[in-house]
Amino acid sequence: MAFFRTINFSEPPPSIGGDGVTLRMPQMADFVEWAALREASRDFLTPWEPTWPADDLTRSAFRRRIRRYSEDIRTDQGYAFLIFRNSDGALVGGLTLANIRRGVAQAGSLGYWMGLPHVRQGYMAAAVHAVIPFALETLRLHRLEAACIPTNVGSIRLLENTGFTREGYAREYLCINGIWQDHLLYARLKGAPVS
């Protein structure tokens, strides 16, 4: 078992292709489309996300975000992707592999968001299916974790339909929309059957 970083990206991770979607690291050229989609989806996303900073949708905040993503990759702590629809190249959402833990854990956490105009069209399921081999094979993680608020039926369905297993319940696990929220805990292990 590897106890330290097992890969080395001298450049950003490669794009990941999925069923009708492509995942790639955010770039400054994505700012306008990203900010527009996030603003159009604000009311939809607010109940499921941490409180947005006042400057969240500004160019300078996006630039800081990209710098943080690059540092996370450099230190093998996280990998952020935007999700694009293959048919027209439109941005539909985002996905992150965060909190990468090496050593005896070899684990990371999956997070995701979908723009309101694109929900319930299968894009996130395709993105999660596409990122699983990257996480478990390329990054050589043993365990991929995810958590969701118990009332988020869409997220529960997504996780269960992409091979994650419910493992527990964490009280006041994350501060979402300014409130410490309980979460259902899910995981997918390397070697688990593909659904």
Sign of CA dihedral 186, 188, 192, 195: positive
* Four-CA torsion 72, 155, 83, 187, nearest 10 degrees: 40
| pLDDT value of residue 6 | 53
Mean pLDDT for the stretch of residues 122-127:
98
Q: Does domain 16-189 have CATH number 3.40.630.30?
A: yes
Indicate if the pLDDT at residue 5 is higher than 70: no
Q: What CA–CA distance (Å, rounded) separates 34 from 27?
A: 10
* For the chain, counts of helices (H) and of strands (E): 5, 8
Bridge partner list, 82: 24, 94
Q: What CA–CA distance (Å, rounded) separates 109 from 97?
A: 5
Q: Could you report the per-residue pLDDT of 24-63, keeping only the tens digit for each?
A: 999 999 999 999 999 999 999 999 999 999 999 999 999 9
pTM (2 d.p.): 0.92
Q: Could you report the per-residue pLDDT of 154-166, keeping only the tens digit for each?
A: 999 999 999 999 9
Bridge partner list, 189: 143
| pLDDT value of residue 34 | 98
